[in-house]
Amino acid sequence: MSDTTIVTVGADMFAEAVEGQAVDVERVDWRPPMPGTEADLAKVATDPRRTEANRRAVEAMLGVTAHLVDVAPASEVLGLEKGQFLHAGPPIEWERASGPLRGALMGGAVLEGLVDDAEDAVALFESGSSVSLEPCHHRSAVGPMAGVVTPSMWMWVLEDRSTGRRTYCSLNEGLGKVLRYGAYNDEVLTRLRWMGDVLGPLLQAAVRGTEEATDVTGILTQMLQMGDEAHNRNRAGTLMLLRDLSPAMVDAGFDSSDVADSLRFVGGNDHFFLNLAMPACKLALDAGRDVPGSTMVVAMARNGTDFGIQVSGTGDEWFTGPAQVAEGLFLGDYGPDDANPDIGDSAITETAGIGGFAMATAPAIVRLVGGSVPDALATTRRMHEITLAENPRWTVPVLEFQGTPTGIDVTKVVRTGILPQINTGMAGAVAGVGQVGAGLVTPPAEIFPKALAALAAQVPA
Amino acid sequence: MSTDHVELRSGAYADSVTLLQVSRAVQAAPGVAAAQVAMATGLNLEVLTGMGFDVPDSSPNDMVVALRLDDDADLAAALAAVDTALVPTRPGSGDTTVAPPRTTGSALRRTGSGAVALVSVPGASATVEAMDALEAGHDVMVFSDNVPVAEEVALKQYATSRGALVMGPDCGTAVIDGVGLGFANTVRPGRIGIVAASGTGCQQLLALLDHAGTSLPGVGVRHALGVGGRDLSSAVGGLSTREALRRLDEDPDVDLVVVVSKPPAPEVAASLQEYADGLGTPVELGLLGRGQRDLTAVAESVLARLGHAAPAWPSYGSDGTGPASGPLLRGLFVGGTLCDESMLMATEALGPVRSNIPLSDDLALTDELLVDDHTFVDFGDDALTQGRAHPMIDPTLRNEQLARAAADPATGVILLDLVLGHGAEPDPASLLAPAIEAARAERRIPVIVSLVGTELDPQGLAAQRDALVAAGAEVHLSNAAATRRALDLIGARA
């Protein structure tokens, strides 16, 4: 009869009627959208700008290649001055800051010499004089977990060669008791000082001395094929970075024991590359910002209290809701009661289509997503339901090299109720504790209808 | 007194996430106060020490099993729990089923380029699904009603700009390349194209042309494109009707196009006439309205343009139909256009009639569907389908009114329709015939049924007809003929 396929959405009797005529039917598993969003959805769906705006946003994002061009202190590259602190997530004040963010700020205050004893920093931040807090995202940076950046911290500098735009991220400290998880004891501060005195300058010399700037986007492409999803697993990426940088590190003329310490530190820290994956993702997503009418999410970030998103069509406005506590696996005898709500800018990886979105490519850590390889495949496939595109560069071998789901669409999240899947670490709720586990989290659902309402309000009459 | 058990397993390896899960499983085992199974990395040794375990010298390649037990006796069971938890879980079948798509856009990514989307979600959500189809370059049929007219206009303007077709909203019927969508009849293929701003009007035409085609080879329908009942309103301005006409005009396999519609806005009808006149393919406009032709006359005109005389439209069971026993005509319809058509004819013969879809506002029925006047009810109207299925699927409401009308001594004749085809009840006569029989058990009131369907329909025309006739109804294939017959019977009484 006909070779036309009929896609049915709604009453199944019509699908059955078509099947009864020996015609292929593809059924949509439709469910009502998030409550009260129907009118906004219809308004945004019929916004004459939307299709083209989303196409432009996606194209701009996918067009970015992030190159590693420098390593330098935040004071130099971000213009950060003494007393200025960057943090992860949407804006927040000390009063509402969670334990790990407070812990990291306190450690940062000691590192910058603002106080001698971390406990004295509490009064400093409470007074609010001579200190200020600002999201990393507002300075083209991203910070993992607490994401605290102070002027003396050394930053990776990534650049999009075609536009000259740059993004920044601090150097990864390793796991366990580290500042980004809110720990601030002497061991933490000693490590940070070594990173500032030895590792940062050495990496700077290496990056500046490496003829061909490292293509971070290219490493991401390769690591996805090597079993990393580039959020909770960065093992392959870290080793590829070392491969690129180690000759110049050795050649830089530094004390050989410092070089050996640095190589050992980087090689022994499987998450080292995460701090390059994150700004690479931000660089791409920033290219998709500020397209009027676009419903693409350009940032997901958490400060340990609020979860916020930014959307291409709504500029720098944050849409926020309470951050959730991740579900997952705990270190030692820590349990859910010890965990702080979700924290960190690292969800920028999911925003760009890796991390939890590329779960299918990282079978080694599938136990984080319910335990089995089919679950991981299902997670990546599910994310395709809420995204605008597939990344032709970042592909998943086990899914026949299908591109990772890329460009979260606010309207699709609201329509399907499917929330972005984020792989994350868990910080202890109390300042000073550090990491307590790792697991899965989603944004609070209500922020998507909020963003949708703002998009609907902007539709030209 | 609790006891600690710490052992090293050299050569054993599992990734850290697996081991976290193993630890959690073992912690839940009976008698276990604390458990940590981990590779002996520096970080993990710190954690173990922090928990109070005393770990012997080890390398990062050793696995440490550390258990704290309330009672030594539980050790064997706890170690067994460790071993069980370390065995990798292998789902036997490996469920790799791909989940069904959740949006129309997602579903269309899985299909070929020519796919058509059929949307029947609640009206408030229909526009979003329809836009998915249009954006992906596909045609869409929107069965859903209660879609705001502004959204309909937006959808159709977008579609027109991309050469896509929006059928609907509130489009009940379409036939595309022989595939019936929504409530559609199975018809013989042919070289006629239909554009319909009226679902049951389209079905009436399909049924009549199919009947004529049995004796007139070559008469049949290639496409029937529904456009939704509001398409020829002032607000929408016939956007989809024009697109449908443009397509059928371009189709070399279509020799003649017929447009059927509920009463259109006059200025839209005029501009449509102008547009149709400019096309290469002849267009027969069958726009219902006061002083306009009925659908059967339109079908006859189509046949005439193709060089055929109209057949005698059949009727059955007329022998038993007595004269009207009261002065009033009661029309109880499931098809909106059929109801419109009958009302227009009745108004000419009897003067103004009352209806829930009145020809003018002053003739509106409110909640009371049976008043002391000629009454026509469309049970498929939005107001009567809120929260319930269409009467083609759920006949309860009409059957109730049928009983009430029959019980009213002022009722002279009852006029009904019964619509067959895909999507309709598998055996609607089995539900209507008993109701007719019950009505006629009171007094031998004439019940006239227009039966819209074809011999190829899933229900089988003949079987449905026979059941109605056996119940005492007089059955017509033409709604106009059925209406004329009802009016004659009322007229005979008057």
What's the CA gap between A144 and B63, in Å, rounded? 29
* Sequence spans of domains, chain B: 3-86, 104-306, 315-490
H helices present in A176-234, as ranges: 186-194, 200-209, 216-224
For residue A70, give the CATH number of its domain: 3.90.1710.10
Binned at pLDDT 50, 70 and 90, residue B91 comes out as: very low
DSSP state for residue A195 in the 8-state scheme: I
Of all residues in chain A, the one with the smallest CA distance to B32 is A333
Superfamily of domain B104-306: Succinyl-CoA synthetase domains (3.40.50.261)
Higher per-residue pLDDT: B491 or A459: A459
B177·A1 Cβ contact <8 A = yes
Q: Are residues A234 and A313 in the same domain?
A: no
Q: Are residues A125 and A75 in the same domain?
A: yes
A447: enclosing H helix or E strand: helix A447-457
Establish if A8 belongs to a structural domain. Answer: yes
Whose tokens are 């007809």? That residue is: B465
Domain count of chain A?
3
Given CB atoms, is B117 within the 8 Å cutoff of chain A? yes
Please, are residues A277 and A220 in contact by the beta-carbon 8 Å criterion? yes
Establish if A208 belongs to a structural domain. Answer: yes
A6·B117 Cβ contact <8 A = yes
B107·A416 Cβ contact <8 A = no
Long-range interactions of B396-402: CB distance < 8 A, separation 24+: B398/B332, B398/B334, B399/B431, B399/B432, B399/B435, B401/B332, B401/B369, B401/B370, B401/B377, B402/B332, B402/B435, B402/B436, B402/B439
SS (H, E, C) B372-416: CCCEEEECCCHHHHCCCCCCCCCCHHHHHHHHHHHHCCCEEEEEE
Establish if A38 belongs to a structural domain. Answer: no
> So what's the pLDDT on residue B231?
97
Q: Is B315-490 in the same CATH topology as B3-86?
A: no
Q: Output the six-digit token pair for B336.
A: 């909106």
Read off the amino acid at residue A43.
Answer: K
CA R_g for chain B: 34
Establish if A35 belongs to a structural domain. Answer: no
The answer on pLDDT for A175 being more than 50 is yes
Query: Which residue in A209, A202, A136 sits closest to A167, CA to CA?
Result: A136
Task: Give, in order, the Cα–Cα distances in Å from B323 to each of A180, B371, B412, B446, B493.
Answer: 92, 22, 8, 7, 7
User: Which structural domain range is residue A9 located in?
Assistant: 1-30
pLDDT in tens, A112-164: 999 999 999 999 999 988 999 999 999 999 999 999 999 999 999 999 999 99
For residue A338, give the CATH number of its domain: 3.90.1700.10
DSSP state for residue A409 in the 8-state scheme: B
> So what's the pLDDT on residue A152?
97
What's the CA gap between A411 and A420, in Å, rounded? 13
Among A260, A278, A296, the domain-final residue is A278
Q: Are residues A245 and A342 in the same domain?
A: no
Q: Are residues A193 and A127 in the same domain?
A: yes
> So what's the pLDDT on residue B252?
95
Q: Is A150 left (phi over 0), alpha (psi -120 to 50) or beta?
A: beta
**Which residues of chain B are within 8 Å of residue A333 when distances are taken between CB atoms?**
27, 34, 36, 51
What's the CA gap between A47 and A90, in Å, rounded? 28
Q: Are residues A357 and A245 in the same domain?
A: no
The answer on pLDDT for B493 being more than 50 is no
Q: Are residues A25 and A152 in the same domain?
A: no
Q: Are residues A136 and A15 in the same domain?
A: no
Q: What does residue A194 show for φ and ψ, rounded to 5 degrees?
A: -60, -40
Binned at pLDDT 50, 70 and 90, residue B319 comes out as: low
For B480, counting Cβ atoms within 10 Å of its Cβ (0-12 exposed, 13-18 middle, 19+ buried), the class is buried
> So what's the pLDDT on residue B101?
95
The answer on pLDDT for B90 being more than 70 is no
A30·B458 Cβ contact <8 A = no
Given CB atoms, is A191 within the 8 Å cutoff of chain B? no
Establish if A339 belongs to a structural domain. Answer: yes
B98·A31 Cβ contact <8 A = no
Please, are residues B23 and B35 in contact by the beta-carbon 8 Å criterion? yes
Chain A from 431 to 450: CB within 8 A of any B CB = 437-438
Which of B18, B128, B225 is the best residue to mutate to test the A interface, defined by the most A CB atoms within 10 Å of its own CB?
A: B128
Q: Output the six-digit token pair for B245.
A: 């006409």
Binned at pLDDT 50, 70 and 90, residue A198 comes out as: very high
Q: Check: CATH 3.30.70 for B3-86?
A: yes
Please, are residues A271 and A175 in contact by the beta-carbon 8 Å criterion? yes
Whose tokens are 């912690």? That residue is: B27
Given CB atoms, is A457 within the 8 Å cutoff of chain B? no
Average model confidence (pLDDT) for chain A? 95
SS (H, E, C) A18-43: HHCCCCCEEECCCCCCCCCCHHHHHH
pLDDT in tens, B242-270: 999 999 999 999 999 999 998 899 999 99
Q: Output the six-digit token pair for B476.
A: 């017509």
Write out the DSSP string of A270-312: TTTTHHHHHHHHHHHHHHT---TT--BEEEEEEESSEEEEEEG
CATH architecture group of domain B315-490:
3-Layer(aba) Sandwich (3.40)
